[in-house]
Amino acid sequence: MMSWAAKANGGQIAPRSLVAVLQSAGAAGIGASATATIAAAGAAGGVVVNKVIDNVIQNKDDDKKDPDIDECNKLDGEIDQ
C-alpha cells in the first residue's frame, strides 16, 4: 500500500493520508489497548463484509430458482403416479 501511494504521488507519501497516519503510528508504536481496539474493529469489519457477501450470494441463488419449472416438476410427478 505504501509503495502504491508513493508511486501515485510522484514518489512521496501525501501528508495526512491514511498511509502517513499508519506510518506515524508504526514509528511511534502503539499500546496494547490500541492494538486490541484495531484488531476488534478489523474483526467486526470482516464480519460485516462476510454477511454482505453471504446475502449477495443467497440473493443470486434465489434468482436462479425458476418457480415455473418447480411447479411443472411437481405436476409431472403427480401425473406419473
pLDDT of residue 27: 83
List Cβ neighbours of 6 (8 Å cut-off, separation of 6 or more). Answer: 12, 13
Question: Model pTM?
Answer: 0.44
- Quick: pLDDT tens for 42-75: 999 999 999 999 988 887 766 566 556 666 666 5
pLDDT of residue 41: 95
- Quick: pLDDT tens for 9-40: 788 878 888 888 888 888 888 888 888 998 99
Q: Is the pLDDT at 80 greater than 60, yes or no?
A: no
pLDDT of residue 9: 76
Q: Is the pLDDT at 79 greater than 80, yes or no?
A: no
List Cβ neighbours of 17 (8 Å cut-off, separation of 6 or more). Answer: 5
Query: Which residue, among 14, 62, 45, has the nearest Cα to 4 in the 3D structure?
Result: 14
